Structure 1
Amino acid sequence: MIENDAVVLGILTLILGAVFLTASLESRGWKRFYSIIPPLLLCYFIPGLLNSFGIVDGAGSQLYPVVSKYFLPACLVFFTIGMDWKSLARLGPKALIAMLAGTAGIMIGGPLALWIVGSISPATVAGQGNNEVWRGLATIAGSWIGGGANQTALREVFQPSDMLFSQMVAVDVLVAELWMAVLIYGAGIAARIDRLLGADSSIVEDVKMHLDTENQINERVPKVPDYIMMAAVGFGATGISHALAEVITPFLASNYPELEKYSLTSNFFWVISIATLIGIALSVTPARKLEHAGASKLGSVFLYVLIATIGMQMDLGAVADNPGLFAIGLIWISVHGIILILVCKWLKIPFFFLAVGSQANVGGSASASVVAAAFHPSLAPVGVLLAILGYAIGTYGGYLTALLMQMVSNMAGFQM
């Protein structure tokens, strides 16, 4: 067992490097491999294997507490600082409607799936304390509305056990990747689907031309001052968030103790919420230009380090302990898809916005850009733009979804 965290961090970053290197190779074998096994899954599960076989001690390591405390808030700032409100407006209301319909589908689908599976198999959703299943599902809600950073934030807020969280990561990744495969297949027959939806996709071409021009004008090679400013903004906002949370949390705990049941006395909830608000506020200032130098890319680096440290705490043997949880995930994503299809059929929204809006919720910026690029490479930024909005609302939407699932669990007695 390796106990030195410096060594463990080195191993984790080498794993990330190996995954991204092999995923970028043009070899037919590697391309075939990654068409079946997504890179994100390996970033979770290879560190999980190290923990499961006793090579590292995920529970005893201090890497995750450090990374979640410092990298996570900065990561959220980097993702939200690049919100391009003008470009979002040019997408038109249909793009935002599709994205928000997907969000509504997640918020409705989670409690509904929990109730359906719990009614059929109460043992699947039973649990007490940190093993209450709704606590683990709360982390999926954060992931499927926003992304990995929002998932981690809600994990800190609702505190599911490590075993429960391991199971939820498996449900999250496998169900989400299955759904993405369906959407990518749909991209190949988008014209046929648009006819079924009665949608006009000419707006997609207009957006593509605009984004091509924007990228050519604004993108630049980052210099040292850019990286210094990113560090100042990201970690400065992190420091402000922690400072304000240390004032807000004791005040609420002392004066409004009844708010504890809504997790509003959680220090980390306020850290994440304040950091997200700071990022949104900075997106309407000149600080937004840091995105042109790669702020969201730096945020992605932080996020993957965070993902690796999360994976290091996984006990993969726990995944097989409660396979019924996958039924919750499949019902949940089905409700999300049905609501999206109904809304897009009603409003004649092109399949492109349905697919990208869905992945902006379920998959985050990486998956949303992959799905968008399946339509046309220059449309990948559309996925990023909508995913950034997902990051901005992910913690809040996931938090509300978690409260609804807690309510369903309490009313049905699933916590017994």
Structure 2
Amino acid sequence: MSTLTITEQAIAHTPLFTNDATIMGILAILLGLVFYTAGSVASFWRKFYMFVPSVLLCYFLPSLLNTFGLIDGEESQLYFVASRYLLPACLVLLTLSVDLKAISKLGSKAVILFFTGTLGIVIGGPIALLIVAAFVPDLVGVDGPQAVWRGMTTVAGSWIGGSANQAAMKEIYGAGDQMFSAMVTVDIIVANLWMAVLLVMAANAKTIDAKTGADTSAIDELKDKVSSFEAKHARIPTVADLMLIAAVAFGVTGAAHLFADNITPYFVEQFPNLAKFSFHSKFFWMIIFSSTVGIALSFTKARRLESVGASKLGSVFLYILIATIGMKMDVTMIIEEPVFFVIGAIWMIIHASMMLIVAKLIKAPLFYMAIGSQANVGGAASAPIVASAFHPSLAPVAVMLAVLGYTVGTYMAWFCGQILQNIG
């Protein structure tokens, strides 16, 4: 009888879909449906996506597959493949398109607010952990993959850069799947609540700017420049263009793996004390190499690949990665671990407060504050949404700042992780 019971339990816990090819197909269909409906002109979908960001569904829908036992997110190898092959390729293509000169021409106020947002995330996390740990001491002093500080590094990666940087922090700092699932849920809910606040503020931008005395003349000029640049350089990609993009993306990915395979053993043998700085992690060196080469290529003719959709293909890789992250989530964690949401809320309040204070001090337009914040917290997936709420032609500006977020995200999130590690 006991054997039968064990067998019945095993059957009951066996997911409906176990073949990764099948699961990948399901994820692709879900992503396709999200973007198809998000681009629909039907009034229902237009109203729906005014309140529910598409990036939220890209996490949430795959998470339902895991929550209801249709798949086993921990057993699937899809996240491993996406994080090792698509993630480095994604980082290369997203950083490849960064135009540091163009970003500097946006004006010092935009850049100041962007880095204020970054600083708010870097110091906000440790402060939030210290505040909550004063009331819940069990949050600190925990070792192993389920340590809260490890999970928080993934939020830092997401809120400074994006999902690619978030996945990088998970691997670099070794956050466990359960903790990662909880923190991804915190990330999505808290970040989207803040984006909703920004969208409401955008609707009242003229009134707010008038009260703060901000000079918005530069924004009007910026709208014209961005629109003309997009019209001049964009063209339909050929097969040769797409193959060249793939060659650069996966060529650098292969080189990144080769670099990591050789430099990691060197640091393990020669510098054993640097393990706490992640220098013994192959994944760390792979991500650093990919990001650095991507930045270097942005100063070469390779940057022309952006005109034929380099960052768009990078975004495709990114959304596949997001879906594989989502399928490891368990939405019931919202109920089980409310203290994590308290940490996330305090963290975001610190970030938002710094943004608003600095924006008022330097009399920056609300637009700069909004995209500076969202380029950090939301990345290229949602920063254009906020920018478009001001004017559709400003979306590429938000993308440029978001790409800057991808560029510095891994480095700054790693630094935040070092602070969190000393606290936790």
TM-score interval, smaller chain = over 0.9
Of the three residues 350, 357, 372, the one matched with 2:365 is 350
Question: CA offsets, 1:309-331, max 9 Å, x none?
Answer: 11111223333221011111111
1:141 equivalent in alignment to 2:134: no
Name the CA distance, whole Å, in 2 between partners of 1:400 and 1:107: 8
Name the CA distance, whole Å, in 2 between partners of 1:192 and 1:314: 41
Give 3-state SS (helix, strand or coil) of 1:349's partner.
Answer: coil
1:155 equivalent in alignment to 2:170: yes
Give 3-state SS (helix, strand or coil) of 2:338's partner.
Answer: coil
* Aligned counterpart, 1:386: 401
Name the CA distance, whole Å, in 1 between partners of 2:359 and 2:51: 29
* Aligned counterpart, 2:233: 218
Name the CA distance, whole Å, in 2 between partners of 1:86 and 1:12: 38
- Partners of 1:73 and 1:271 within 8 A in 2: yes
Question: CA offsets, 1:79-104, max 9 Å, x none?
Answer: 00011223212201111111011101
TM-score (norm 2): 0.94
Question: CA offsets, 1:218-257, max 9 Å, x none?
Answer: 0111111110110011001101111111111100011111
Aligned length: 409
- Quote how far apart the aligned CAs of 1:45 are: 1.8
* Aligned counterpart, 2:59: 44
- Partners of 2:110 and 2:372 within 8 A in 1: yes
* Aligned counterpart, 1:185: 200
Name the CA distance, whole Å, in 1 between partners of 2:194 and 2:219: 22
Within 5 Å, give how 1:127-276 maps onto structure 2: 127-276=142-291
- Quote how far apart the aligned CAs of 1:23 are: 1.7
- Partners of 1:175 and 1:329 within 8 A in 2: yes
Question: CA offsets, 1:263-294, max 9 Å, x none?
Answer: 11110011001100000000010100111111
Shift of the 143–112 alpha-carbon distance from structure 1 to 2, 3 Å rule, reads: same
Name the CA distance, whole Å, in 2 between partners of 1:225 and 1:306: 25
Give 3-state SS (helix, strand or coil) of 2:200's partner.
Answer: helix
Stretches of structure 2 that go unaligned for 5 or more consecutive residues are 1-15
Stretches of structure 1 that go unaligned for 5 or more consecutive residues are 410-416
* Aligned counterpart, 2:124: 109
Name the CA distance, whole Å, in 1 between partners of 2:109 and 2:379: 19
Name the CA distance, whole Å, in 1 between partners of 2:377 and 2:185: 14
Give 3-state SS (helix, strand or coil) of 1:203's partner.
Answer: helix
Per mean C-alpha deviation after superposition, the further-off stretch among 339-348 and 235-244 is 339-348
Within 5 Å, give how 1:1-12 maps onto structure 2: 1-12=16-27
* Aligned counterpart, 2:9: none
Name the CA distance, whole Å, in 2 between partners of 1:233 and 1:279: 9
Name the CA distance, whole Å, in 2 between partners of 1:20 and 1:125: 40
- Partners of 1:144 and 1:362 within 8 A in 2: yes
Q: State the percentage of identical aligned residues.
A: 50
Name the CA distance, whole Å, in 1 between partners of 2:368 and 2:155: 23
- Partners of 1:218 and 1:292 within 8 A in 2: yes
Name the CA distance, whole Å, in 1 between partners of 2:235 and 2:353: 41
Of the three residues 361, 368, 385, the one matched with 2:376 is 361
Question: CA offsets, 1:116-156, max 9 Å, x none?
Answer: 01112224556431110010000000000000100011111
Name the CA distance, whole Å, in 2 between partners of 1:169 and 1:95: 28
Name the CA distance, whole Å, in 1 between partners of 2:97 and 2:38: 26
Name the CA distance, whole Å, in 1 between partners of 2:350 and 2:211: 20
Per mean C-alpha deviation after superposition, the further-off stretch among 35-44 and 134-143 is 35-44
Name the CA distance, whole Å, in 1 between partners of 2:169 and 2:43: 39
Name the CA distance, whole Å, in 1 between partners of 2:355 and 2:247: 40
Name the CA distance, whole Å, in 1 between partners of 2:143 and 2:270: 28
Give 3-state SS (helix, strand or coil) of 1:244's partner.
Answer: helix
* Aligned counterpart, 1:414: none
Of the three residues 93, 99, 114, the one matched with 1:78 is 93
- Partners of 2:140 and 2:423 within 8 A in 1: no
- Partners of 1:79 and 1:391 within 8 A in 2: yes
Give 3-state SS (helix, strand or coil) of 2:145's partner.
Answer: helix
TM-score (norm 1): 0.96
- Quote how far apart the aligned CAs of 1:33 are: 2.5
* Aligned counterpart, 1:309: 324
- Quote how far apart the aligned CAs of 1:27 are: 2.2
Name the CA distance, whole Å, in 1 between partners of 2:368 and 2:174: 34
Of the three residues 71, 74, 78, the one matched with 1:56 is 71
1:328 equivalent in alignment to 2:335: no
State the superposition RMSD in angstroms: 1.2
* Aligned counterpart, 1:31: 46
Name the CA distance, whole Å, in 2 between partners of 1:18 and 1:125: 41
* Aligned counterpart, 1:413: none
- Quote how far apart the aligned CAs of 1:160 are: 1.1
